[in-house]
Structures are given as C-alpha cells and as structure tokens.
Amino acid sequence: MARTLPRRRLPTGTVTFLFSDIEGSTKLAAELGPGAYRKLLEQHHRILREAFTEHGGVERGTQGDAFLVVFRDAPSAIASAVGAQRALAAATWPRGAAVRVRMGLHSGEGLPGGDDYVGIDVNRAARIASAANGGQILVSDSTRALAERELPAGASIIDIGRHRLRDIDEPEHIFQLTADDLPSDFSALRGEGVQPGNLSVRLTSFVGRERELAEVTELLGEHRLVTITGPGGTGKTSLAVEVARAARGSFPDGAWFVPLDALEDPELVPSAIVTAIGLREAGTRRPAELLRDNLREQRLLLVLDNFERLLDAADVVRALLRHAGGLKVLVTSRAPLHLAGEQEYRLSPLAVPVESPADALGVAELENIDCVKLFTDRAREAAPGFRITQEIAGPVLETCRRLDGLPLGIELAAARVGFLAPADLAARLARRLPLPGTGLRDLPDRQRTIAEAIGWSYELLEEPERLLFARLSVFAGGWDLKAVDAVCGPASEIGADVIEALAHLVEQSLVRARTAGVVTRFSMLETIRDYAADRLELSGDAGEIRARHAQHYLGLAEEVAQQLPGRDQVSLMAHLSEERDNLRAGIQWAIATGDAQTGLRFLSAMWRYWQLGGQVGEGLAVARVVLEIPDAEEPSRVRVRGLEAAGGLHYWGGDTLRAAELYGQQISLARELGDEHGEADGLFNLAATTSQGGDLIGAFTMADRAFELYGNVGDPRGQARVDGLRGIGTMVAGDPAAALPLMLRSVDRLHTVDDAYFEAVALATCAWAFLILGKTREGLPYWRQSIAMTHELGDIASTTLALEFAAIVALDGGQPEVAAVIHAAFEEASRLYGVRAPRATEELVARTGYLDELKAALGQERFQSATERGRRMALDQAVDYSVAAVRDIEADG
C-alpha cells in the first residue's frame, strides 16, 4: 500500500531526491513465500527509514519495496544513502536471503504539485535509480557538485561517464558513490536506453525529411563512411543528428557529435574528436594515437559536422576507419572527403510546389508540404497562435519558393511572423533588392540565396542590433554574457543595452542560446557567422573588436593559470576546454598581427593547460611560432615566462635537451633583468631537467640557489618544491634514508601552502622511500593519500604510476593474483595514456624483479587470466581495486 506524507512537510527550492528499490524483488518474493517476504520487507523498510530520518530525509512515499525521499541538501542525502547501504549490508535477512537495494540521487528544483512533486528533476532521479545495479548508488552531476566536498568518512565518488537514460533525451553525466566497506565493482548500467553518447536534446522539432532520414540511415547501415553534402542552410547538421538518434541503438559504445565549425587548422581535428567523446589526453601521446588505440575495439558512431574547411584532415578519418573496425563515420560537409568507400548523399533543399498555386491546394494539403510544415512549426515559436489559413497560404508558399526551400532561410523568415505578416515577408523577398552595404560575394545560386535570406533578416534589425550582430562573429565556439559585455560593449558604443539587443537576436533566430546549469552560452550557425563576419569587416571595427576578444580570453587564461596545477584544476581545466576555440582564436590573432607580447603571455598562461590536458603537441606548435614573432626576442619579463613555458612543453614532450636550452635562456634573461623570481623558477626547472640526465651535483647546486632566491622573493611554495626536488634527487642517487626526511619536510611545507599537485607527488615519493627501506606498511598511508589526491586532481600520469606501487605491495603481502590484476591495469593505462615512469622508479622496479616473481607464483594460466581482468579495467576501477587491496594488507598487518 502506498504511503504519503502531508504536503506541509515538503521541502522546496533546491532539494535532493533519492529513489530506491530492491533488485529482483519479484523473484525474491516468489522464493521466500508471502510470510518470509513480508518480514524481509518490514526489516528493509525499518533500516531505510532509520537512515533517512537520521539525516533529515522527508519520505514522500513507498510503493512495495520502493522509496522516494527528499532531502534539503545533497550532503545529507549522500550520507543517508551510504548509511543505509552499510546497514543493509550488515543485516541478517530471513532464510539467508541476499537483499540488494539500488539507489539513485539527483539534485534539482523541488516543485510541489498537489501532495507530491512535479517536474523533470524528480523524474530524472527515478531514471538514474532505475539504471543502477543492486547495492549500487548512482548520483547525478548536480548532486556530485553539491556534495563532493562533504562526503562521509571513507566515501568517494567515481565518474562513470555520460549515459542516455530512458525517456530523457539529454545524456546524463553519472557518478557512482562508493565507500570503503561497500561493494564497488558492478556490471554496466541497467535498463533500456542506457547508452553512452553526447547527442544533445533537440531544441526544435525535426520537421519533414522522412525520405532523406530513411535513405541516409540505410546507407549508414551498409557503409562505414557516409558524407551528407550540400550548400549552407540545407539542414545537413539537423539530418545527421536525427540519423544518429535513429541509429544509436546499433552502437553499444555510443553516438558522438563532433562540432568542427570553429576549427581552421586540420591538425586539430583529432583533438576535437578526443574532447567530444570524453577521452582525457595525458602524457606525450598524440591525439590521433590516443583515438586509434581507444577506438580499436569499440563499436561507435562519430558525427563529424562542418568538415568543409578541414578537408586536409580526411586522412584522419581514413586512419581511424582503418584501425577501428567497429567505427562508422557520418560527415556533413559542403564537399565530399574523396576517400575510398565513402558514400556521398547530396541533400537538396525542401521541395516546394512550383506550378500549383496555393489556392489550388486545400489547407490540409498545404500543411503536409515539408517546407510549409517547417515554416508553421518555427512561426509558432514566435507567434504561438499561428496557423495556416487559405488567406495566408499563398504568401507562405511564395516565401518558401523565394527561399528555394532552404530550411535555414525558412526558419529565419518564420521567426519574423511576430511582427511581419506573411504577405510582407513574401513581398520583401520578391523585391530581392541589394541591401545597402551587404557586398555579397560571387557565390553559387544556392549560397547567394541563403546570404540574401540572412541579409534581409539583418536589414530588419535596428542599428544597435546590427552592430552587435556583426561583433558577435569574433567568437569561436560560443560565448557567455560576460564575454559579450567585455568584447562587444559597452552600451554607449552599441547604442542600446547589450543584453537586450542579444535577446532580440535570439528571438530572431540569428543567435542560439543554450542553458546548462546556471550558465547560458550563445552561438551562431556557421553560415550566419560567416555573414556576420562580412558585416564586421565592412564596419571598420574588426581590428578593435578582434583585439578586445584576444585580450578578454588572455585575461581568462592568465586568471586560471595562477591556479594551475592545483586543487581545483579539474573544474578550471574544464572551463578552459569550453573556451578552447576562443583561446585558439586569440592566439592566432596575436600571431597574425605580430603582437609578440600578447603571444608570449598566451604561451605562458596556456602551457600548463596543454601539459595537464595532454595537448603538448598543440602547445609546442604554438611555442615555435610565438617565439619567432618579430620583437619576441626583445628582453622582457614576459619573454622570461614565455621561455619557461616553451621549456616546460619540450620537457613534457620528451625533448629534455631543448628544454634545458630554453631554461638556460630563461635564467640568463632573468638575471639580466633582475627578475629573481624568474631566475629561481628557471633554476628549479633546469635542476629537475639536469637530474634526469644524472648530473646530481649540478642539479643540487642549482636547487640550492633556487631555494635562496625563493626566500628572497618570499615564495614558500617554491622552497617547498625545492625540498621535494632534493628528496627525489637523493632517491635517484640511491640514498632513500637521506631522502625520506627531505620528502617528509616537503610534504609538510607543500600542505601548508596548499600546493596539492606537488604535495601528492611528494607523498608518493615518501611511500616509495619506505618501500625501498623495507618499511612498506609505514608508507601505505602516504600512498593512499597520494593516489586519492592525484585521482581527484585528474593527474592521470601520477595516478597511473601509483598502480605499480600497489602491485608490488600486493605481491609482498601474499596476494599475487591481485598483484597481477593491478599490474595489467597499470600496463594498459600506461599504454593508453602514454605514461612512462621516471628513471628512478624504473630502476627500482627492475631491481625488485616483481613481474618474474608474479609469473612464477601464479603459473601461466592464472597469470594470463588475471592479466585479462586487469586490462579490462578503466583507470577509475583500477584505482578503487588497488586502494581496496592496499587497505586489506594494512588491516592484516
């Protein structure tokens, strides 16, 4: 019997919903019989209600074995879920039954409706719960963000990727909540429709094109590369996305949309694909290699949108198809890629009746014509009461004819019906008068038609809106409100409130708006952006606006750079990734205009982003060009930092000789300018590089001088890092006993200055020192703390390297099979991310000979079985498995 609570107790505002139910309850009831199952259900209800009540949960109802509970804050919901699962796991059930309860949590708006909640957020929580396995707790991204800094003791959150849930179009980013004493290894998410991918929810309806949809879907079923070609405005993107939606059930590893409209460099196509499908670049591996290895065994669909400017990247597509047998690619482009096996599908505009006058067709017949259906659908967004009547049928049909059936043109025209009657629209298009200042280029007929369609829509704007429209073209890949104010404003220049003018452009379908969480981002279709860019060039403001754009994104990059690497680097890196195309545009502007100072500042601000994000190749390409800008050699502190950035990129790119050369130039120039901080950083960098070559005496001499200079400029963080460098050098020299106190002091200092990135490295080094000294168990807490920090920071290289330590510890702890699993996971992650251990670690592992000992302990068959298991683990799974193994060993010790 359902149980509900009075409405007066309903929390409102931002709340967290928790759904739960017993996995396999029907089967369980049949096995136990009515009496025993009733006792089990009563015990289940009592345990859950105690956990929910303890943390302030408001029970909204029960139905059989299912609960819906609402919490006023996410940390309380998380604590309640963990407490409930712990209590369930500790319980003794009737007849020894196994009771596994799945839970799903989502934070959103609590909208009371009658005696219950209404709205998408409560439904989303239910769908997340239905995807969980028994015993598993799944949480949404919003719940994770609100609770991750207040987790219960022993709890952690694991990213398990984006998944499409039943009845929810937008892919959901899902996380698993785990605890030390609870199971963490589960099967793939449950339920129909749970599927990886990033196809966004459709913001407008998909009208017509049934024949084209069927034909392209059939082609994709028979061929691995299909390219939809056609001029701008024909709806290639819309059709491709709809085909992907229809076909995604055939791709277990997802359908992924890759926007390429903001790119101008074909070499960046692999990085764009890596970003879109959610891979994390790390180490020095090129994105193309990362894709090849990741996609080799997967069955997925890539939708590469707007390929026409990047046709030189066709070889990237060819290589991926060659190496990944389960991959299919759907491309949109104004021209084919000309690859073997490519199936081109030429998309024509929507059909428009040419000879039959509107009055010869009934309203019902008109409403079934695709172009008229599209016009009507989009017109209703501007004027909700719009409908086709015999009176306006003629003008609507004439408008579609004048626009040659081009969907983009029809959408732009329909957006005007709020203040222009269809007859006025048709009359304006019929005149086809050249617009003042349009300066249309020599275009093919279809392209000229769409340009004119945008042109008359532009003509109907007020002057402030025209000015803003043109200026918005400088943005690549979208923008937010803060950027609009900084780049396109102020209001005194525009002649109107900038936000109001932007809102009007959105209303007229010239700009698109999309809200994710609390942030709204705006963008333009590439065809419209091209037109707006022409208007900007004609305005005479292009130089000033592009300079403002570059300076705004330089400011963003420099602000973030101050916090990298650091505790918040995952969210900061995500923010820079969202603005990656704008950052690239700013760098290209500096290079094109010969602005050496801006180029060097971008290089200095971005290098850590490139290094931490595994985009060293892109960073090196920028560094080479920026350092060759005329005037870049002029002595300045900006150049000091530019040399440091270039040195860092070469260091992480494996070219330590070139890195040392650049660091040497940094030190010399800093001394010349009296820049003690720049000199200290250069000495620290060169000491680290020199120690890799074995010159420990020279490295220590430089480290001592760097320590002194850091003291002069009052930089305790720099001094703490020097302590760590000395400790690592002493380890390399073969004296772990002397290295350990240096490392422990470095840990304390780095913790004091909140240098999380280097603190994690120092903690790991302490663990290795204890292991070498034969005091392994004393080092285990340091290792656990280190891997927790590196994993949270998104430091893939350090997290991967930590796995090998766990493998050695597991073997020493009498768990050879566990050690083999971890070792295989380590090797797979190292291959996948291009991670290589430092020389000292490689030498240590070689001395232990643990791999040979593993094989001898297990025998070939058991070793191979364990290896296969480890290779199938994702990095997150390998971390959880390794931490659990190390905790077991600690407990046994």
Is the Cβ–Cβ distance between 99 and 195 less than 8 Å? Answer: no
Is 196 within the bounds of a domain? no
Q: Are residues 49 and 168 in the same domain?
A: yes
- The answer to the question of residue 874 being in a domain is yes
* Alpha-carbon distances, residue 511 vs 119, 235, 410, 415, 778 (angstroms): 28, 16, 15, 12, 60
Predicted local confidence at residue 696, as pLDDT? 84
Rounded-to-integer distance, Cα 882 and Cα 873, Å: 11
What is the CATH number for 674?
1.25.40.10
Reported as a single tens digit per residue, the pLDDT across 524-553 is: 887 788 889 999 999 999 999 999 999 999
According to DSSP, the residues that pair with 61 across neighbouring strands are 68
Does residue 42 lie within any of the structural domains?
Answer: yes
Question: Does pLDDT of 354 surpass 70?
Answer: no
Tally of CA atoms within 13 A in the half-sphere of 613 that contains its CB: 26
Q: On the CB side of 227, how many CA atoms lie within 13 Å of its CA?
A: 20
Q: What is the mean pLDDT of residues 879-893?
A: 87
Range of the domain at 76: 7-179
Which helix (DSSP H) or strand (DSSP E) does residue 663 occupy? helix 656-673
Q: Which residues have C-beta within 8 Å of that of residue 164, sequence separation ≥ 6?
A: 171, 172, 193, 194, 195, 196, 197, 199, 248
CATH number at residue 315: 3.40.50.300
Give the count of domains, the chain: 6
Instruction: Catalogue the E-assigned strands of 716-837.
Output: none
Burial of 165 from C-beta contacts in 10 A (0-12 / 13-18 / 19+)? buried
**pLDDT tens sequence across 98-115:** 899 999 999 887 766 555
Domain boundary pick from 702, 718, 735: 735
Share of the chain above pLDDT 90, in %: 47
| Residues 442 and 468 both lie in one domain | no
Cα within 13 Å of Cα(209), Cβ side: 25
H or E segment and range at residue 117: strand 116-118
Last residue of one domain, picked from the residues 735, 750, 770? 735
Residue 100 lies in a domain: yes
Same domain? 726 vs 686: yes
DSSP annotation of 373: H
Let me know whether 490 and 421 are in one domain: no
For 53-95, write each residue's pLDDT tens digit.
999 998 876 677 889 899 989 999 999 999 999 999 999 998 8
- Res. 520: pLDDT tops 60: yes
Model pTM score: 0.69
Report the mean per-residue pLDDT for the chain.
Answer: 86
**Pair 30, 166 in one domain:** yes
State yes or no: pLDDT of 3 exceeds 90.
no
pLDDT of 427 strictly over 90: no
Whether 398 is covered by a domain: the verdict is: yes
pLDDT digits (tens, 9 = 90+) for 657-674: 999 999 999 999 999 999
In a domain, 740, yes or no: no
**pLDDT for residue 222 is more than 80:** yes
Please give the pLDDT value at position 124. 84
Residue 213, both tokens: 């949809």
Query: Token pair of 468, please?
Result: 């803003």
- Per-residue confidence at 1, pLDDT binned at 50, 70, 90? very low
pLDDT category, 718, cuts 50, 70, 90? very high
Region 118-133: mean pLDDT is 81
- Highest average pLDDT, of 202-211, 448-457, 559-568, 728-737, comes from 559-568
369 and 451 fall within a common domain: yes
The answer to which of 134-138, 212-216, 873-877 has the lowest mean pLDDT is 873-877
* 291 & 371 share domain: no
Cβ atoms of 700 and 687 within 8 Å: the answer is yes
What is the CATH number for 529? 1.10.10.10
Q: What's the pLDDT score for residue 193?
A: 45
CA distance 218 to 229: 16
**What is the band of 8 on the pLDDT scale with cuts at 50, 70, 90?**
very low
pLDDT tens for each residue of 459-472: 888 999 999 999 99
Determine, yes or no, domain membership for 768: no
- 584/731 same-domain check: yes
Q: Are residues 17 and 160 in the same domain?
A: yes
Query: In this prediction, what percent of the chain has a pLDDT beyond 70?
Result: 89
Based on the fold, state whether residues 535 and 553 are members of the same structural domain.
Answer: no
Among the ranges given (329-343, 369-383, 798-812), the one the predictor scored with the smallest mean pLDDT: 369-383
Q: Which residue has the higher pLDDT, 246 or 629?
A: 629
Q: Is pLDDT of 399 > 80?
A: yes
Taking a C-beta distance cutoff of 8 angstroms, is the pair 413, 350 a contact? no
pLDDT band at residue 355 using 50, 70 and 90 as cut-offs:
low
62: CATH: 3.30.70.1230
Q: Which of 352-366, 426-440, 827-841 has the lowest mean pLDDT?
A: 426-440
Residues 499 and 435 in one domain: no
pLDDT over 50 (residue 444)? no
pLDDT of residue 51: 94
> Is residue 862 included in any domain, yes or no?
yes
The pLDDT tens digits for 494-519 are: 999 998 999 989 888 789 888 765 67
Highest mean pLDDT among 33-42, 328-337, 638-647, 798-807: 638-647
512 plus 559 within the same structural domain: no
Phi, psi of 157, rounded to the nearest 5 degrees: -120, 130
- What is each CA distance from 805 to 704, 769, 773, in whole angstroms? 30, 11, 14
Residue closest to 585 by CA, chosen among 557, 614, 617, 627 = 557
**Of 517, 540, 563, the domain-final residue:** 540
What CA–CA distance (Å, rounded) separates 22 from 28? Answer: 9
Q: Residue 384 has what pLDDT?
A: 85
Confidence of residue 283 (pLDDT cuts 50, 70, 90): low
